[in-house]
Structure 1
Amino acid sequence: MGDGASVRGAPDRRRRWAGGPLVALLVVTGVCTAAVPGQVNLGAARPGATAPESAGRADPVAAARLAAVRTTLDRRAAALVRRDRAGWLAGVDPAATAFRERQAALFTNIAAVPLGAWRYTVEPGDEAGRDERGGGWTVRVTLRYALREVDPAPTARPLVLTFRPAGGRWLISGDDRRTADGARSWRGPWEQGPIVVRRGTASLVLGHPANARRLPAIAAAVDIAVPRVRAVVGAGTPARVAVIVPGDQREMSVLVGEKLVLSTIAAVAVADSVDPSTAQARGQRVVVNPANIDRIGPLGRQVVLQHEVAHVATRGVTGPGTPIWLTEGLADWVGYADSGLPDRQIGDELRAALRTGRWPGRLPTEADFRGDSPRLALAYEEAWSACRFLARQAGPAELLRLYRAVGTAADPAAAVDAQLRRSVGMSLPEFTARWRASVRAEFR
Structure 2
Amino acid sequence: MLTTLLVVSMLLAVGGAGAAAWVLRDGGDTPIASTWVDVRPEVGGKAIDDVLTRHAAAVRSKSLDAWMADVDQSDPGFAQRQRQEFENLTKLPLAEFSFERTVQPARKMAAYLPSQLFDRYHAAARVIAVTVRHRIDGVDSVPVATPWLAVFGYADGRWVIAGDGVGKAMPTGAEGQPWDAGEPISVVRNDRVVAVLSAGAADNGKALLQLAETGLRQVAQVRPSGWDGKVLLTAVSNKQIFDTYFAESQDRVARVAAIAVPYYSSVTEWSARPTYATTRVVFNPAELTAPKAELQHDLTHEFTHAAMGPVTGPHTPRWVVEGFAEYVAYKDGKYNAAGIRAVIGDLSIDKFPADKQFYEEPRNYVGGWLACRMIAETFGEAKLIAFYEGFMRMSEIDSVSREVLGVGRDQLEQQWRDYVAKQRK
TM-score by length of 2: 0.77
- What is the match of residue 406 of structure 1? 391
Partner SS state of residue 83, structure 2: helix
In structure 2, relative to structure 1, the CA distance for the partners of 1:158 and 1:47 (3 Å cut) is: farther
Contact 1:317–1:408 (8 Å) recurs in 2: no
In structure 2, relative to structure 1, the CA distance for the partners of 1:193 and 1:310 (3 Å cut) is: same
Partner SS state of residue 155, structure 1: strand
Query: 223-232 or 276-285, which moves further after superposition?
Result: 276-285
- What is the match of residue 34 of structure 1? none
Q: Which has the higher contact order (CA 8 A, sep 6+)?
A: 1
Contact 1:267–1:293 (8 Å) recurs in 2: no
Deviations 1:46-70 (A, max 9, x none): 799xxxxx989xx884422221211
Amino acid at match of 1:402: F
Partner SS state of residue 234, structure 1: coil
Contact 1:117–1:154 (8 Å) recurs in 2: no
Deviations 1:154-194 (A, max 9, x none): 22313232132435x42222224679x87796353323211
Note the C-alpha offset of 1:102. 2.2
Amino acid at match of 2:370: S
1:417 counterpart (392, 401, 405): 401
Query: 91-100 or 385-394, which moves further after superposition?
Result: 91-100
- What is the match of residue 306 of structure 2? 312
- What is the match of residue 431 of structure 1? 412
What fraction of aligned residue pairs are identical, expressed as a percent? 24
Alignment of 1:27-426 (within 5 A): 61-125=40-104, 133=122, 135-151=124-140, 152-166=142-156, 169-176=158-165, 186-191=175-180, 192-209=182-199, 211-254=201-244, 256-257=246-247, 259-260=249-250, 261-273=252-264, 281-282=276-277, 284-295=279-290, 297-338=291-332, 340-342=333-335, 344=337, 347-349=340-342, 352-353=345-346, 359-366=348-355, 369-371=358-360, 373=361, 376-377=362-363, 379-409=364-394, 411-419=395-403, 422-423=404-405, 425-426=406-407
RMSD: 3.5
Note the C-alpha offset of 1:81. 1.0
Note the C-alpha offset of 1:366. 3.4
Contact 1:110–1:194 (8 Å) recurs in 2: no
Contact 1:226–1:237 (8 Å) recurs in 2: no
TM-score by length of 1: 0.74
More strand by share: 2
In structure 2, relative to structure 1, the CA distance for the partners of 1:395 and 1:217 (3 Å cut) is: same
In structure 2, relative to structure 1, the CA distance for the partners of 1:343 and 1:401 (3 Å cut) is: farther
Contact 1:188–1:255 (8 Å) recurs in 2: no
Note the C-alpha offset of 1:350. 6.0
In structure 2, relative to structure 1, the CA distance for the partners of 1:413 and 1:360 (3 Å cut) is: closer
- What is the match of residue 441 of structure 1? 422
Deviations 1:76-111 (A, max 9, x none): 100111101111111123444432232122222333
Q: Distance in 2 between matches of 1:64 and 1:187?
A: 32
Amino acid at match of 2:49: R
Unaligned runs of 5+ in 1: 1-43, 49-53
Looking at CA atoms only, which structure, 1 or 2, has the larger radius of gyration?
2
Contact 2:278–2:309 (8 Å) recurs in 1: no
- What is the match of residue 35 of structure 1? none
Deviations 1:332-390 (A, max 9, x none): 1111122x41452562346644xxxx65444334365334x3xx22x222211111111
In structure 2, relative to structure 1, the CA distance for the partners of 1:333 and 1:245 (3 Å cut) is: same
Note the C-alpha offset of 1:442. 4.3
- What is the match of residue 31 of structure 2? none
Q: Distance in 2 between matches of 1:290 and 1:177?
A: 23
In structure 2, relative to structure 1, the CA distance for the partners of 1:299 and 1:71 (3 Å cut) is: same
In structure 2, relative to structure 1, the CA distance for the partners of 1:45 and 1:205 (3 Å cut) is: farther
Note the C-alpha offset of 1:115. 1.4
Q: Distance in 1 between matches of 2:218 and 2:10?
A: 52
Amino acid at match of 1:436: R
Q: Distance in 2 between matches of 1:233 and 1:47?
A: 61
Q: Distance in 2 between matches of 1:250 and 1:138?
A: 21
Contact 2:104–2:129 (8 Å) recurs in 1: no
In structure 2, relative to structure 1, the CA distance for the partners of 1:65 and 1:366 (3 Å cut) is: closer
Q: Distance in 1 between matches of 2:380 and 2:330?
A: 17
Q: Distance in 2 between matches of 1:436 and 1:71?
A: 61
Q: Distance in 2 between matches of 1:183 and 1:350?
A: 36
Q: Distance in 1 between matches of 2:48 and 2:331?
A: 52
Q: Distance in 1 between matches of 2:208 and 2:106?
A: 42
Contact 1:319–1:406 (8 Å) recurs in 2: yes
Unaligned runs of 5+ in 2: 1-8, 20-37, 111-117
Q: Distance in 2 between matches of 1:408 and 1:45?
A: 52
Contact 2:52–2:99 (8 Å) recurs in 1: yes
